[in-house]
Structure 1
Amino acid sequence: MQATTAPPATATHDYSAAMRAWHWVNAALVSGQLLTILFQKVIVNAKGAVPEFQEAITKGGGTLTQQQGRAVAHVISERIWTWHVWMGVALAAFWLFWTVMQALDPAGRRFGARLMAAARRYKLAAPTARPDARHALLAKLTYAAFYLFITLMVVTGLGLIWADDNAFLGSIEHTMKEIHNVTMYLIIGYIVLHVVGVVWSEITKDHGLISRMVGGTASRETPHDY
């Protein structure tokens, strides 16, 4: 009896316009949110900038009390966090966009089905094909982890927005902050691994991967990797 073998683990394909929009807009929004954290905690550091405000005003011939300096720092901090919140709301909208895309896709093309298919390919792969099958499965698993991180980020972020207006959300505000902060570091780690993986694939086996993600189009028969 002939042994069952798995189909090829990977195939070069283009990416749909919807997928590319989701990818790059999310990349921009996540990067923007991380930049607001960088400005808030490192570059601007509004709370620690009060002495610098006072020194600058003094050099100009004016005076600035500690209380006034804190008020200025608070304005700067609030402005940065406003940007952070609105980018978070936009990120939530695109998370919903991806969820709707998944719901509207045929069952066999949904991410969960393709993840299970990758697992089956790895299980059935011949020894010579196992490395490629393992790579395909690990890629799908990292995508799944990223979607989980984004979901946690969106849910906790929206919860924090309304924590002051809802008693239940207010009671778990600290927990949501902790989850939100930890998720941020997980997303940073994912971004680093993703960039390294894409560059490695580009220069080894999957030449043109970046070009296809920037300007590629997908046919109706081509599976969408989202």
Structure 2
Amino acid sequence: MADTFQKPKSGALRIWHWANSIAIFGLLATGLLRKSYMSWRPMAATIESKTAEAGVAVTPELAREIAIAIRTPMWENHYLFGFALAALLLMRVVLAFMSGQTHTLQDLKDAIASRDKHAIAVKGLYLAFYGVVAFMVVSGLLLRFKTELGLSKELSGLLKDGHEFFLWGFVGFVALHIAGVFVTELRGEHGLVSRMIHGGQKS
């Protein structure tokens, strides 16, 4: 497993890694804001409360419309990050075929055969990550264009529920990924972060 971490990182892979990080953090930020501080319900309640204090009557319906209008620019950024993630996923597939590194499932089988728990965890996590990314990309695109595609309300609801549920998969992956970097360093496999920045020395 150490050899995997010691390998130099190509420029294309490093660019993909950091661009992917930006896209995921952008999606997390906008998605979590929508579900918390930028949710239309508390925003609408605040609008109603503050306008009432100023002696202006605002109906709940109008307060909701104003809240959604305030949130819309942020949510457009969510779509942009989503489109970027879709492009990056496609780019990763292309890079995998170009580099010949298309054996992730086989790598997991090899790790299981070697009984290397760390290798099993890492390979299994990355397989799960790409599965979640694929689902998030597909479900996100379907939700974005649900009107144009004529999706039913029931299907849209299922897609939305799944999309929101797996948003937490991104949160978990980011936490585990960062923890994994520390574990790798503690195992004596130094330089992973620096290689992801400058590529490392080619042997």
TM class by smaller structure: 0.7 to 0.9
Give the match for residue 33 of structure 1.
Answer: 27
Structure 1's unaligned 5+ residue stretches are 1-8, 222-226
Q: Aligned ranges for residues 1-226 of structure 1 at < 5 Å?
A: 9-11=1-3, 12-57=6-51, 61=54, 63-66=56-59, 67-106=61-100, 109-112=101-104, 115-117=105-107, 119-120=109-110, 122-123=112-113, 125=114, 130=115, 133-168=116-151, 172-217=155-200, 219=202
One-letter amino acid of the counterpart of residue 141, structure 1: G
Structure 2 stretches lacking a partner, 5+ long: none
Partners in 2 of 1:70 and 1:194 — Cα distance? 38
State the alpha-carbon separation in 2 of the partners of residues 169 and 50 from structure 1: 28
Distance 1:71 1:20 in 2: 42
Check 1:167–1:53 CA distance in 2 against 1; reply closer, same or farther (3 A cut): closer
- Counterpart Cα distance in 2 of 1:34 and 1:190: 11
CA distance in 2, matches of 1:194, 1:23: 12
1:164–1:170 Cα contact (<8 Å) kept: no
- Structure 2 residue matching 1:110: 3-state secondary structure: coil
4+ residue segments displaced more than 3 Å: 54-59, 168-171
Is contact 1:33-1:87 (8 Å) kept?
yes
Structure 1 residue 160: Cα displacement: 0.8
**Residue type of the partner of 1:27?**
S
- CA shift at 1:95, angstroms? 0.7
CA distance in 1, matches of 2:26, 2:136: 14
Is the 8 Å Cα contact of residues 16 and 218 (structure 1) preserved in structure 2? no
Residue identity matched to 1:143? Y
Confirm or deny: 8 A CA contact 1:163 1:170 kept in the other structure. Answer: no
Once residues 198 and 157 of structure 2 are traced to their aligned partners in structure 1, the CA distance between those partners, rounded to angstroms, is 42
Amino acid of the residue matched to residue 128 of structure 2? A
- Report the CA distance shift for 1:54/1:97 in structure 2 as closer, same or farther (over 3 A): same
Amino acid at match of 2:110: R
TM-score normalised to structure 1 length: 0.77
Normalized per residue, which structure has more helix? 2
Q: Tell me if structure 2 keeps the 8 A contact 1:149–1:186.
A: yes
Larger Rg: 1
Q: Describe the shift of the 1:198–1:53 C-alpha distance in structure 2 as closer, same or farther (beyond 3 A).
A: same
Distance change >3 Å, CA 215–CA 72, structure 1 → 2: same
| Percent of aligned pairs with the same amino acid | 28
Aligned length: 200
